[in-house]
């Protein structure tokens, strides 16, 4: 069967694939640094050139005031469905002093490849380039039509991706999409991302006096705005320290999926850098996955409290805080903001004046229900290569391009996966790619094209 031969070919070409990944990683294509714009363009041109060498048609698109976007296609299978693969070639900065290897000189240590972008996201789309190459080298064709979109601005929030969609809509036309910029719950557990949380901020302002006054003269007689602020914030949380308003009901499918995800105390301890003796919040009646991905959460991200070196012996007239709210997938940030605001405005402690207003601009979450033949097809590809089907996972944060694809193409099968794992430390120092995960992802992609070509091929 040709898919077996192609899979073997991809395996035989693995060292070549790794070499080309390493050569891409030597480009410091950092989208947030204007002085690196030429590196982003150089890498885009290089990738487009390599895609042409592979046998695809490829174009570097450029819009004014935007970093480039690479598109490519192979459309020589008439009557077959078209799969679009999305990835991004730009990088986060790598200025952290904690890097143990040069961030732009990929370095192999054991079973991991260290370097900025190794897993986020160059390893993601290179795993597709490897699968495409194996098919074309071994079979001379692909089992489905294929498009590639490789963006140059994901790490700055994809500010122009929708403009690219409007300017060149034809390069986004497809029957199914693989968005490869997400994480696996473990190096041997493949993840299918089905949700993101939304994000918004509220500014909470408490006024007690019309001016700061001496605490020696008035302490113990009039309210402390700072204490009132703390009591108000405390009011929003339960005894475990979790936001207690705005919680949502989870359907059974996700509840069960959440229990299959391997997030235990060791993973939380390592991932969240918990100090010895500090336990994670207790799970009670929900899984860790549900708390992390599917329920709202609050973090106090700023206050007006003076740092110790700026203390003064005064009762402050005002105290304020910025509350960061993560909305549950499917829950609007406006709904969550309004229940939080209501809880804060009710019965002000000590009769102080309380004001709550939106801060910054909100980003909505995303909740996706996988349905249709593309998902069992993807499961078959993963079962054959990883030994298990995809596990539904969420992301506690927000990814602008995912919300955009969801809005524009939510009626199509959207397969969100990737080559990251919890030890990857994307965006942090010492980012790395698990080479076993990378190799299995290439194998899964080889089979995914074949499975999707057949599953979506019938009219």
**Residues within the interface to Zn ion (CB under 5 A):** 120-121, 181
Alpha carbons 366 and 287: distance in angstroms, whole number: 20
- The DSSP output letter for 120 is I
Alpha carbons 273 and 417: distance in angstroms, whole number: 25
Q: Tokens 């004001």, residue?
A: 355
Alpha carbons 281 and 227: distance in angstroms, whole number: 25
Could you tell me the end-to-end alpha-carbon distance of the chain, in angstroms, rounded to an integer?
Answer: 24
Q: Is 90 a catalytic residue?
A: yes
Tell me the closest approach of the beta carbon of residue 287 to Zn ion, in angstroms.
Answer: 26
Q: Do the beta carbons of residue 196 and residue 398 sit within 8 Å?
A: yes
Tell me the closest approach of the beta carbon of residue 426 to Zn ion, in angstroms.
Answer: 7
Tell me the closest approach of the beta carbon of residue 399 to Zn ion, in angstroms.
Answer: 8
Tell me the closest approach of the beta carbon of residue 25 to Zn ion, in angstroms.
Answer: 14
Catalytic residue chosen out of the listed positions 39, 154, 201, 421: 154
Give the contacts of 101 (CB within 8 A, at least 6 positions apart): 107, 109, 114, 115, 430
Which residue number, 356 or 395, has a Cβ lying nearer to Zn ion?
Answer: 395
Strands (E), 288-413: 297-303, 314-315, 318-327, 353-363, 366-367, 391-395
Which residue number, 24 or 135, has a Cβ lying nearer to Zn ion?
Answer: 24
Alpha carbons 408 and 90: distance in angstroms, whole number: 23
Which residue number, 91 or 456, has a Cβ lying nearer to Zn ion?
Answer: 91
SS3 content of the chain, % helix, strand, coil (to 5): 40, 25, 40
Q: Is 154 a catalytic residue?
A: yes
Catalytic residue chosen out of the listed positions 39, 50, 90, 431: 90
Element counts in the chain: helices (H) and strands (E): 14, 18
Which residue number, 70 or 323, has a Cβ lying nearer to Zn ion?
Answer: 70
Which residue number, 82 or 424, has a Cβ lying nearer to Zn ion?
Answer: 424
Tell me the closest approach of the beta carbon of residue 418 to Zn ion, in angstroms.
Answer: 8
Active site residues: 90, 154
């Amino acid at each position: 069967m040709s898919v077996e031969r192609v899979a073997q070919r991809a395996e035989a070409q693995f060292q070549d694939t790794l070499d080309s990944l390493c050569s891409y990683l030597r480009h410091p294509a950092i989208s947030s640094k204007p002085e690196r714009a030429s590196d982003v363009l150089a890498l885009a041109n290089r990738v487009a050139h390599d895609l042409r060498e592979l046998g695809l048609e490829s174009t570097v698109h450029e819009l004014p005031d935007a970093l480039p976007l690479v598109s490519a296609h192979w459309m020589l299978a008439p009557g077959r469905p078209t799969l679009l693969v999305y990835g991004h070639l730009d990088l986060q900065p790598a200025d952290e002093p904690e890097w143990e290897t040069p961030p732009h000189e990929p370095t192999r240590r054991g079973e991991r490849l260290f370097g900025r972008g190794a897993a986020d996201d160059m390893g993601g789309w290179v795993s597709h380039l490897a699968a495409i190459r194996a098919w074309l080298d071994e079979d001379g064709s692909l089992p489905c039509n294929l498009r590639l979109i490789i963006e140059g601005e994901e790490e700055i929030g994809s500010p122009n991706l929708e403009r690219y969609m409007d300017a060149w809509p034809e390069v986004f036309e497809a029957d199914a999409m693989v968005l490869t910029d997400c994480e696996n719950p473990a190096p041997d557990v493949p993840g299918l991302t089905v949700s993101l949380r939304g994000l918004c901020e509220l500014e909470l302002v408490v006024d007690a006096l019309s001016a700061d006054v001496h605490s020696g003269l008035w302490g113990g007689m009039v309210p402390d705005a700072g204490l009132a602020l703390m009591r108000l914030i405390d009011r929003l949380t339960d005894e475990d320290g979790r936001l207690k308003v705005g919680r949502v009901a989870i359907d059974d499918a996700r509840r069960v999926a959440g229990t299959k995800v391997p997030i235990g105390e060791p993973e939380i301890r390592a991932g969240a850098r918990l100090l010895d003796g500090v336990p994670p919040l207790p799970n009670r009646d929900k899984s860790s996955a549900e708390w992390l991905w599917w329920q709202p959460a609050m973090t106090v991200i700023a206050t007006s409290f003076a740092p110790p070196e700026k203390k003064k012996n005064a009762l402050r007239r005002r105290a304020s805080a910025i509350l960061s709210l993560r909305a549950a997938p499917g829950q609007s940030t406006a709904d969550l903001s309004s229940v939080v605001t209501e809880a804060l405005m009710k019965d002000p402690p000590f009769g102080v004046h309380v004001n709550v207003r939106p801060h910054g601009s909100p980003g909505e979450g995303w909740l996706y229900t996988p349905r249709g033949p593309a998902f069992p097809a993807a499961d078959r590809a993963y079962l054959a290569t990883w030994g298990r089907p995809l596990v539904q996972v969420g992301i506690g944060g927000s990814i602008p391009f995912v919300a955009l694809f969801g809005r524009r193409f939510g009626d199509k099968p959207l397969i969100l996966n990737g080559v990251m794992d919890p030890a990857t430390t994307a965006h942090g120092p010492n980012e790395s790619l698990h080479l076993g995960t990378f190799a299995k992802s290439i194998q899964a992609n080889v089979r995914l094209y074949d499975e999707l070509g057949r599953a979506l091929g019938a009219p």
